[in-house]
Amino acid sequence: MSAKTASHMRWHKEKRLDDGILRHLAEAKAWKSFDLAFLNFALDARNVRSSLCSDEFTPYGNIDSTYSIWLVFLVPYNLLPWMSMKKPYTMLNMINPGKTAPGTDIDVHILATINQ
């Protein structure tokens, strides 16, 4: 992308303040245990850590609550805390229409989308 965005993507490793206060996911136990488990990945600050998140959208409002659409987003966590969830960095990965949420079967929906 740009040099400015690239520096923001490395922030979690190069410029983060490590004072024991949880301000970013990089300070969490899960992030640190992942670093210990995958040392080669953790060595390069440019490796992108991301998360899938989903949210329900009801296209007809409260009129027809039997049908909904589940949007699945990919969010990079390398960025500064106030940038991670901003529009330019949130990517729509999948739209899952249906009567119910994908729940624990979301991985099946993602694989089906990728293989099409």
pLDDT at 38: 92
Q: Is the pTM of this model over 0.75?
A: no
Q: Which residue has the tokens 């600050």?
A: 45
Q: Tell me how far apart the alpha carbons of residues 113 and 116 are, in angstroms, rounded to a whole number.
A: 6
Average pLDDT, the chain: 75
State pLDDT tens for residues 99-109: 665 566 666 55
Q: Domain segments of the chain: what residues?
A: 3-114
Phi-psi region of 98 (alpha: psi -120 to 50; beta: other; left: phi over 0): left
Half-sphere exposure of 49 (CA within 13 A, CB side): 23
Half-sphere exposure of 26 (CA within 13 A, CB side): 22
